[in-house]
Amino acid sequence: MRKYFGTDGIRGHVGVEPITADFCVRLGRAAGRVLGADHPRPKVLIGKDTRLSGYMLESAMEAGLSAAGVDVVLLGPMTTPAVAHLTHSEGAQAGVVISASHNPYHDNGIKFFTAGGEKLPDRVELAIEAALDEPFSTVEPNRLGRAARLENAGQRYVDYCLQTLTKPLPELKGKRLVLDCAHGAGYRVGPALFERLGMQLELIGAEPDGFNINAGCGATDLDLLISTVKERNADLGLALDGDGDRLMLVSQSGRVVDGDDMLYLLARRWQQLGQLRGPMVGTAMTNFGIEQALGVLGIAFDRAAVGDRYVLERMKQHGSNLGGEASGHVLCLDRATTGDALVTALAVLEALDGRVNELDSHLQHVRRVPQVTVNVRLAGNGKGRATEPDVVAAKVAVEEQLSGRGRVVLRPSGTEPVLRVTVEGPDEAEVSALAVQLAAVVRAS
C-alpha cells in the first residue's frame, strides 16, 4: 500500500502535509536518492503550473534534490507532457511536475517521470516512500547538486509537437480558433503552437495570476469556451486543463467533443490508414455508445480501471497505440509517452485533414447512452465506502433493475475525497433517478 502516492502522484491542500515545504525537501532528497542511484551525476528536470504555491514547492524540491547530489534543471511554467518529453530528450534521469492538474489553486501536487518520459511504476514510488522514512542526510559538500534553467524549453517542446504531424495541414491557415489555456501551464506553448500553424487565435484563460488556474475556464468548465465559439463564429474551440494533459473540443455548432469522441474519431481514421494497433483502450467510464460505434467498425475495445496510468498499462499489455478517457486524457503512443493535450489536438486536426468545420459530421454515427455521475464528498478518502454492505446491496438492486440495459460504476477519486456514483442506461430520467438514489445510500452509509 502506498502512503503518499495516489493514481497521479502526490496531491493535496497546500500547507497540509504532504503539500508543505518541509515535506517536499524530504521528498526531493528521497526521490534524488532513488531516481539517481545508478548515475554518477544525476540530473532532474522540474516544471510547474501557474499556482502561487509552485514557487515554494519548486524551491523545496530543488533543495532536497541538491542535498541528494542531483543537478536540477528548472523549466518554469511548463505542461506535464512537455516535462515528460524534455526529460527524455535532455537525457535526464527523471522529471518532476509541480501541479494539481484540474484542481483549484489552493491545491497542488508532485508527480514524477522516468528517464523515458513515462510515469513511475509502483515499485519506484514505493522505494521513494521507503526513502522518505530514512533520517534526512546530505551528501558531502563537494557532491551537492547545482541548479540551472533550460533556455527555450517552450520552443523546443512546440517544435516536438509539430514533428508529430505526418503531413502538412495548409487547410488550417486562417481558421478561427478559440483557445482556452485554463490560466495554466499551457498559456504560452499553446498559443505558440497554433500560431505556427497559421490559425487565427482568440485566447481565453491565458492570463494567469497565481490564483485563477481552472477558475471558470479550461477543460473542466467549458461554458465560456462554448459561448465564445458561438459569439465569434469561430471554426473550433479547444480547451486545456491546468497542466496541459487534458483536451476538450467545442465544434463550430457548440457541441462538446470529449475524450470518448476524440478516441472514436482517431480510431476510425487510423483504422482507415492501417495505423491502428491492438484494441482501443478506454476505461470503466467510457460511454457504452462509443463501444457500440467502434463495434460497428470492427474495432476491438477493452476497458481499464479509471486513470491514465491504468490505461497505459493495458495498452502496453495489448500492444495498442490508442487509448484514453472521456475526461480528455488521450494516449497516442506512436506520438507521445503520456497524455498530451497539444499532441492530441494535432492528431485530431490531422484526422480531419485540417477541415475543422466538418468535426460534427465525423461524429454523426456516435449515439451516446445517457450516463449520469453524482460525486459524493466524504470524510477521509472514502475508498472503503463502496464495499459497505448497504452500498453493495443498493448497487446490486440498481444493476438488477438495469439488467441487460445499463451499467453501474462506484469509483473513489484518486485525487480528492470523493466517491463517484455513475449509472448508465437507455433512459436518461431513469438513469438520473437511480444515480441520485444510489448516491443517497452512499452518503448515509
All 3 cell numbers of residue 388? Answer: 459497505
In the residue annotation, 101 being an active-site residue is answered as yes
258-362: which CATH architecture? 3-Layer(aba) Sandwich (3.40)
The strand pairing partners of 25, in sequence order, are none
Same fold? 10-151, 157-256: yes
Catalytic residue among 101, 251, 320, 413: 101
Q: What's the CA gap between 255 and 236, in Å, rounded?
A: 10
Q: What's residue 380's pLDDT?
A: 64
Is residue 160 within 8 Å of 128, Cβ to Cβ? no
CATH of domain 10-151: 3.40.120.10
130-to-44, 68, 121, 136 alpha-carbon distances in Å: 20, 15, 15, 12
Contacts 24+ apart (CB under 8 A), 334-337: 334/275, 335/164, 336/81, 336/84, 336/85, 336/164, 337/84, 337/85, 337/88, 337/116, 337/117, 337/118
Q: What's the CA gap between 345 and 327, in Å, rounded?
A: 14
DSSP-assigned letters across all residues of 24-93: HHHHHHHHHHHHTTT-SS-EEEEEE-S-THHHHHHHHHHHHHHHTT-EEEEEEE--HHHHHHHHHHTT-S
| Secondary structure, 3-state, 161-195 | HHHCCCCCCHHHCCCEEEEECCCCCCCCHHHHHHH
Is residue 14 within 8 Å of 108, Cβ to Cβ? yes
Q: What's residue 406's pLDDT?
A: 85
How many Cβ atoms are within 10 Å of 428's Cβ, its own excluded?
A: 12
Q: What's residue 27's pLDDT?
A: 98
pLDDT in tens, the chain (445 residues): 789 998 889 999 999 999 999 999 999 999 999 999 989 999 999 999 999 999 999 999 999 999 999 999 999 999 999 999 999 999 999 999 999 999 999 999 999 999 999 999 999 999 999 999 999 999 999 999 999 999 999 999 999 999 999 999 999 999 999 999 999 999 999 999 999 999 999 999 999 999 999 999 999 999 999 999 999 999 999 999 999 999 999 999 999 999 999 999 999 999 999 999 999 999 988 998 899 899 999 999 999 998 888 999 999 999 999 999 999 999 999 999 999 999 999 999 999 999 999 999 999 988 888 999 999 998 765 556 888 999 999 999 999 999 878 889 998 876 678 899 999 999 999 999 999 999 999 998 8
Q: What's residue 6's pLDDT?
A: 87
CA 343 to chain centre: 13
SS3 content of the chain, % helix, strand, coil (to 5): 40, 20, 40
Q: Taking the domains of the chain in order of start, what are their residue ranges? A: 10-151, 157-256, 258-362, 371-444
Q: What's the CA gap between 134 and 136, in Å, rounded?
A: 6
Residue type, 319: G
Q: What's residue 392's pLDDT?
A: 94
CATH class as words, domain 157-256: alpha beta
Q: What's residue 4's pLDDT?
A: 95
Q: What's the CA gap between 24 and 109, in Å, rounded?
A: 10
**How many CA atoms lie within 13 Å of 169's alpha carbon, on the beta-carbon side?**
27
Is residue 226 within 8 Å of 237, Cβ to Cβ? yes
CATH class as words, domain 371-444: alpha beta
336 burial (CB, 10 Å; 0-12 / 13-18 / 19+) is buried
Q: What's the CA gap between 74 and 164, in Å, rounded?
A: 25
